[in-house]
Structure 1
Amino acid sequence: MQTASTNICERMGRSQELSEFKHGTLIGCHLCNKSIREISLLLNIPRSTVSGIITKWKQLGTTATQP
């Protein structure tokens, strides 16, 4: 039985993706000068994921999944 306090790593399998809302929230935090560590703790997302999404946003200007 899972509790409500399980982190996103335990709930997410490799096939699931973050919602567009989470992506937008993450980018919004970045634009408000939050560090990757702060964003990770705030949204309960691994730092590597946060870093990857920010990098992708800087390079492509979007966080949408590419085909």
Structure 2
Amino acid sequence: MQIASANIGERMGRSQELSEFKRGPVIGCHLCNKSIRDISLLINIPQSTVSGIITKWKQLGTTATQPPSERGQCMLKCTVHRSH
């Protein structure tokens, strides 16, 4: 009988993103003065991800996913326009 893992930071590929629910404990640990390394080991996600979440939270006040930048949308429109 196998038991499913309830690990918050399950292995993720580069294209996957942590849900806002999974980012909450990172901010909670940061507010309790835990180091990035300690948070990474505790939640089992890379230190770079922890650092990015904390930086984004400090700059924007939120961990929510932001809409794509205007430049990316413009480049997409140019590419689509050229292909026709």
For Structure 1 versus Structure 2, the TM-score category normalised by the shorter chain is: 0.7 to 0.9
TM-score by length of 1: 0.81
User: Match of 1:23, as an amino acid?
Assistant: R
User: Match of 2:64, as an amino acid?
Assistant: A
Once the two structures are superposed, residues 13-33 of structure 1 have per-residue CA deviations (whole angstroms, 9 ceiling, x without a partner) of 222111211111110000011
- Structure 2 match to 1:14: 14
SS of equivalent to 1:26: helix
Gaps of 5+ in 2: 68-84
Whole-angstrom CA distance in 1 between matches of 2:36 and 2:14: 21
Q: Percent identity?
A: 85
Whole-angstrom CA distance in 1 between matches of 2:37 and 2:12: 20
Whole-angstrom CA distance in 1 between matches of 2:18 and 2:62: 14
How far apart are 1:49 and its partner, in Å?
0.5
Residues 49-60 of structure 1 mapped to structure 2, 5 A cutoff: 49-60=49-60
Gaps of 5+ in 1: none
Bigger Rg, structure 1 or 2: 2
TM-score by length of 2: 0.66
Q: Write out the 4+ residue segments of structure 1 that deviate beyond 6 Å after TM superposition.
A: none
